Every structure is written in C-alpha cells, then in structure tokens.
C-alpha cells in the first residue's frame, strides 16, 4: 500500500500568518491517465473529517481561498494563508487513486 507521510506533526502559528503542511507519498500518485487523486481533510476537535481539497489543488465549494494545494508526483503541500482561529484542527492528506486509499498521520495546527 502507498504510505503517506506528513510533516510537521504539529504547527503553531500566529493569526494572520501562513502555514504549510507537507505530504509525501511512498510512490508517485500520478496515474497513467494523467490524474493525481490527492486530497486534503481537516478534522476539528470532536468532529468527523471534512474534505477541503481534491485532485491536489481544487477546493470544495465553500472552502475559503485561503486554502491552497500544490505539488506533483510524490510531494504535495497544503498552504493556509492568513490563518484564522477557525482553522485549528488536524489536517490529513489522503491518496485515493490506488486501493487501499491511505491517509497521512496528520498535522495538528494550533493558534498561538
């Protein structure tokens, strides 16, 4: 199975600053059809995960444009510009292109 590794495991930022989370996969996520099924989720305390971004960089409806995704192959990044208090929680990357779908171990974002 594809192993997803996130860094850092925790991140503390001041409101208004930017935060970046790295996600590396053990194999390239680029498929022969040219697609890359890399997703980002946020899990707030006591809640279920919520999908933020699909296919590396496409935000779901309602997700603020402060959230952006980038990357290719095995290296991906979630960037949150102008962090707000509501962004606190654990962020997970996930690959869905090969079974089994696999998640990273999570990055906890805190506000200073």
Partner 1 sequence: EVQLVESGGGLVQPGGSLRLSCAASGFTFTNHWMHWVRQTPGKGPVWVSRINPDGSSTDYADSVQGRFTISRDNAKNTLSLQMNDLRAEDTARYYCARDFFWNAPDCWGQGILVTVSS
9 forms part of the interface with partner 1 (CB under 8 A): no
- Residue nearer to partner 1 on the CB measure, 99 or 112: 99
Near partner 1 by CB under 8 A: residue from 22, 30, 54, 68: 54
Given the rule CB under 8 A, which of 18-26, 54-62, 67-75, 76-84 is the region that contacts partner 1?
A: 54-62
> Contact 92/40 with Cβ under 8 angstroms?
yes
Beta bridge partners of 42: 50, 91
Strands (E) located in 1-104: 4-7, 10-13, 19-25, 38-43, 50-54, 58-59, 67-72, 75-80, 89-95, 102-103
62 forms part of the interface with partner 1 (CB under 8 A): no
Instruction: Measure the CA–CA gap between 17 and 66, rounded to whole angstroms.
Output: 11
37 forms part of the interface with partner 1 (CB under 8 A): yes
Near partner 1 by CB under 8 A: residue from 60, 72, 73, 84: 60
Query: Would you tell me how many other CB atoms lie within 10 Å of the CB of residue 55?
Result: 13
- Residue nearer to partner 1 on the CB measure, 19 or 41: 41
Max intra-chain CA distance, the chain:
43
Which residues sit at the interface with partner 1, rule CB under 8 A? Answer: 1, 37, 39, 41, 48-51, 54-55, 60, 92, 94, 96-97, 99-106
């Amino acid at each position: 199975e594809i192993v997803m590794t996130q860094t850092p495991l925790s991140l503390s930022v001041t409101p208004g600053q930017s935060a970046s989370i790295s996600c590396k996969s053990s194999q390239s996520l680029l498929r022969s059809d040219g697609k890359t099924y890399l997703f980002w989720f946020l899990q707030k305390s006591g809640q279920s995960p919520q999908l933020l971004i699909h296919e590396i960089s496409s935000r779901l409806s309602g997700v603020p444009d402060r959230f952006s995704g980038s990357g290719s192959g095995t290296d991906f990044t979630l960037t949150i510009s102008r962090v707000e208090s509501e962004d606190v929680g654990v962020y997970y990357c996930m690959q869905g292109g090969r079974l089994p779908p696999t998640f990273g171990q999570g990055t906890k974002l805190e506000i200073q």
